[in-house]
Structure 1
Amino acid sequence: MKSEYDCVVIGAGPGGCSAAAITAQGGLNTLLVERESVPRFHVGESLMPETYWPLQRLGLNERVKESGWQVKKSVQFVTHRGTESAPFFFRQHDSRESSDTWQVERSEFDKMLFDRAAELGADCVDRTRLLDVDFDDNAAISGVTLKDDQGQQRNIKCQVVIDATGQQSFLANKLKIKEVNPDLRKAAVWGYYKDAVRGDGEHAGATIILQTENKESWFWFIPLSRGVTSIGCVGDNDYMLKGRGTPEETFLEELQRCPGLTPRLENATRLGDLKIAKEFSYMTKQHAGPGWVLVGDALGFIDPVYSSGVYFALDMGVRAGDAVVEGFKNGDLSGDQLGNWTDDFMKGATWVRKLVHAFYTKEFSIGRFMKEHPEHHGNLTNVLIGRIFDEDASQLFADMDESIAQAKMAV
């Protein structure tokens, strides 16, 4: 590490790595810092098809194709009674190559992104912890204080900090700009299984979302490479983690309540212990300021149900990186400049958030809604693909809101 950089990026997940790659490629002296050892484990293996575009910008699509990861061509929903929807095949909606995506091992995927940032000129260090972000008398960024794995503390001067610290949300907590959504306080318990029953043919790599009988929880089914499948259960935090025994007992109890999943695991073997995460949904009320900008989960987190996290992080990283490069070019490192992309991004993210709330409305059925409104099949597929920045993405929600209201009145 040098003692001074133009830009310091904290956190080497998809958001931080993509931002560092773009700023370094744009000629800025960039430092990328990760507190854990790279590669490191992370959940969130399923990509949205629109991930293709930020990966293309980073020059990584060919490497991803050659990685051997499971190709994902579809998603499917299974009701609390075990009834399976018709798969949503992305290429039926859009025949371009970008409609195929992947189920990735995040340790390998994130390492690929980390290495790409280094290739493009960023100084990339792991096992280095952020202790503080420093501001000058005008409330603008002046530097960061870091501590490496040898215990050495370093004060690094910089003009811009890109916060990609994930759910740690360092700057959002420091500046008290983080707002938790009380309606989406979830917890996840998950693990990995060998030889779970997958779909057939092109549907073999599908992400499958399965509801339990009482709709108090749902399971993800994400087929990875080498015959391994990620299986996770998500429900309200109190329901999953309080007063019901161990998380493993809760997981197994919910599994018995999931008629669509139990047959898929009859001959499967679990690999290792289960893992736990609190998936609280939150958003920041300010996304950028003088000399700083937030990306990825440091800016906000919605919910894991539609696998939007990695795509959102990559897209935000590219957008933020461009804004920082442009800011240095024009001599403008204000919050308005560094966050000039956030309004457009947040408008698109609204559609995913609305679909998440619809999913958690027990009285509402997406399958029934699609039977009533087949004209919205393409619009819904757009959201599942991640094509949320087109005006068409909004078209289905007027009818969906009305359908939700009617479903609630009928109970």
Structure 2
Amino acid sequence: MHENYDVIVVGGGPAGSTTAGLLAKRGRRVLLLEKEKFPRYHIGESLVPGLMPVLDELGATESIEASGAIRKYGISLIWGRDPQLWQVDFGEATEHSYAYEVKRAEFDNILLTHARRLGVTVIEEASVHEVIVDNGRCVGVRFSSGGSNAPVELRAPFIVDASGQAKLVARELDVVEWHEDLKNLATWTYFQGGVHPDGKYAGNIVLENRPPGWLWLIPFSDNTCSVGFVAPTTEYKATGLTPTDVLKLRIEDSIEIKARLQGAIEVAKPRTTKDWSYTNRQMSAPGCLMVGDAAAFIDPLFSTGCMLAMKGASAAARTIDVMLDQPDRESELRASYEEAYRNFLEVVISYVRFFYDPTRQISEYFDEAQNLIDPNEKLSAREDFILLISGLRGKSAIMDPLALADRV
């Protein structure tokens, strides 16, 4: 470890690994500090095509493919007024016709390892205690590692907060804004076996609305699947049941997911976490950009977590690379980064809120997608729906801060 880094990245999840790796590809000297030892467990196993261009940019697609991750060509749903299974194919609207269903421990470890190969210095089991601020600017970090409590202080021209829901910088600045209507609780477990379709749709995630919440089923290549239930925290309290019992009850009440779990064996202890959506009032500070869950967390309905993290990371890497060469543009570029990030988030969260109403016709969901991203109706409403949920279309230049900055 040396002290002349260009960038210090806090956090080794998809946002941190991607930001660090892309900066290293641009010739920057990058230190990444990760508090855990990889591989480590994480939820968020269904990916969408919107992150595929970033995987290609990293040069990591081949590694993901070689890992045996199952391809996801679309989504299958029981949602809306008519309780019948319907599905969409990503290839109907985009050249990125698939993404993957992944075990996040494996996926995240591949990305972190790839960052190392690109030249990033990675220190695991490194706990960052604080970001150092000097005259209002983030200039370094204090951390401990290697089983020692002795703090280490390192400085760099730029800091990236990819600390996930720890939200290291946002909590210090007190800029986290919760979306009160999306304070949900997720409970999930894993099954082996069951009755699953063959062919192209075998890797589809299944979403089934069970008001006031919804169920997911994510298949994996090893004949296991993840099954979970998301609902407002008030729903869990109202039942008087434990979260595990609520999950079992909702599975039993389901249509498609119950059918697919016939003969399956539960092979893991259920887990529970708060899925409280939030967006920071600011996503940067002098000398620092926030990315991934450190900037915002949006309801997991459309599996947007990794996509938002990696798109944001790509935008952050491009922005920081220019700022390091042109420090006089930092204020302008930080503002453009936040605008691009926020514009994309606003589309996603607006649509999640609309889609949560299960009483609509399927055509209404398509029409609202078109209203949000294609009001001039250049494509069909169904195509706009596919583009929106795949993360390949937004209200702005698709998280491109430099394009926004160059407008003025």
Show the counterpart of 2:401.
Answer: none
Q: Which residue of 1 aligns with 2:119?
A: 121
In structure 2, the residue corresponding to 1:28 is in which secondary structure? coil
Shift of 1:390: 6.3
Partner residue in 1 for 2:292: 296
Tell me, yes or no, if structure 1 residue 318 matches structure 2 residue 323. no
1:308 aligns with 2:313: no
State the shift of 1:259 in Å: 2.5
Structure 1 position 8 matched with structure 2 position 24:
no
Asked if structure 1 preserves the Cα contact closer than 8 Å seen for 2:80 and 2:358, the reply is no
Q: Which residue does 1:139 correspond to in 2?
A: 136
Amino acid at match of 2:214: W
SS in 1 for 2:323: helix
1: CA distance between counterparts of 2:151 and 2:282? Answer: 29
Q: Deviations over 1:342-363 (max 9, x none)?
A: 3123222322212210122244
Provide the C-alpha distance between the structure 2 equivalents of 1:173 and 1:69, rounded to a whole number of angstroms: 35
Does the aligned pair in 2 maintain the 1:351–1:388 contact within 8 Å? no
The counterpart of 1:285, out of the listed 281, 288, 298, is: 281
Deviation, 1:81, is 8.3
Output the CA distance in 2 between the equivalents of 1:345 and 1:67: 30
Task: Judge conservation of contact 2:75–2:88 (CA < 8 Å) in 1.
Answer: yes
Matched ranges for 1:163-242 at <5 A: 163-212=161-210, 215-240=211-236
1:152-191: CA deviations, max 9, x gaps? 3211112211001111111111100110010100110011
The reply to whether residue 357 of structure 1 matches residue 362 of structure 2 is no
Is the 1:72–1:205 Cα contact (8 Å) retained in structure 2?
A: yes
Asked if structure 2 preserves the Cα contact closer than 8 Å seen for 1:18 and 1:314, the reply is yes
CA contact (8 A) 1:74 1:88 kept: yes
Post-superposition shift, 1:4?
4.5
Question: In structure 1, what is the Cα distance between the partners aligned to 2:165 and 2:25?
Answer: 27
1:297 match: secondary structure: helix
Task: Label 1:119 to 1:332 Cα distance change in 2 as closer, same or farther (>3 A).
Answer: farther
Partners of 1:193 and 1:268 within 8 A in 2 = yes
* Separation of aligned partners in 2, 1:174 and 1:69: 38
Is 1:379 equivalent to 2:384 in the alignment? yes
The answer for the alignment partner of 2:394 in structure 1 is 389
Is the counterpart of residue 273 in structure 1 residue 266 in structure 2? no
The alignment's C-alpha RMSD in Å is 2.3
- Given the two structures, how large is their TM-score scaled by the length of structure 1? 0.89
TM-score (ref. length: structure 2)? 0.89
Cα deviation code 1:287-309 (max 9, x no counterpart): 11210000001110111010111
Cα distance change on mapping 1:146 and 1:241 into 2, 3 Å? farther
Q: Which amino acid in 2 is paired with 1:168?
A: A
Distance verdict in 2 for CA 1:371–1:133, change over 3 Å: closer
The letter for the 2-side match of 1:302 is I
Letter in 2 for 1:381: I
Gaps of 5+ in 1: 394-411
Q: What is the distance in 1 between the residues matched to 2:205 and 2:174?
A: 36
Q: Give the match for residue 376 of structure 2.
A: none
CA contact (8 A) 1:323 1:339 kept: no
CA distance in 2, matches of 1:251, 1:326: 48
Query: Comparing 281-290 with 323-332, which one deviates more in the overlay?
Result: 323-332
Read off the aligned partner of 1:129 and give its amino acid letter.
Answer: S
Q: Distance in 2 between matches of 1:148 and 1:365?
A: 54
Query: Alignment identity in percent?
Result: 27
